């Protein structure tokens, strides 16, 4: 599964998400506020990467 993500840091240090599959955006109002700070976002990204690596390493055992 491949997602095109755009994340923006705003003044209150939260992460915004925009799904580029929806086309171009004209306003910041179309972004979804994740209500998490950048550190939490980075932690989640590294955990997700680790999960993907584990799934790849054990792919044969899952089938």
Give the Cα-Cα-Cα angle 23, 25, 28 (nearest 5 degrees).
145
pLDDT of residue 48: 95
What torsion do the CA atoms of 19, 20, 24, 26 make, to the nearest 10 degrees? 30
pLDDT of residue 7: 57
Residue 46's pLDDT band, with cuts at 50, 70 and 90, is very high
CA distances from 26 to 15, 32, 45, 46 (A): 18, 14, 27, 31
The answer, yes or no, to whether residue 13 has pLDDT greater than 80, is no
For residue 30, report the phi and psi dihedrals to the nearest 5 degrees. Answer: -85, -5
């Amino acid at each position: 599964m491949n997602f095109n993500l755009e994340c923006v840091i705003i003044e209150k240090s939260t992460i915004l998400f925009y799904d580029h599959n929806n086309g171009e955006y004209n306003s910041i109002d179309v972004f979804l506020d994740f209500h998490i700070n950048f550190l939490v976002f980075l932690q989640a990204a590294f955990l997700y990467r680790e999960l993907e690596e584990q799934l790849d390493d054990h792919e044969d055992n899952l089938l």
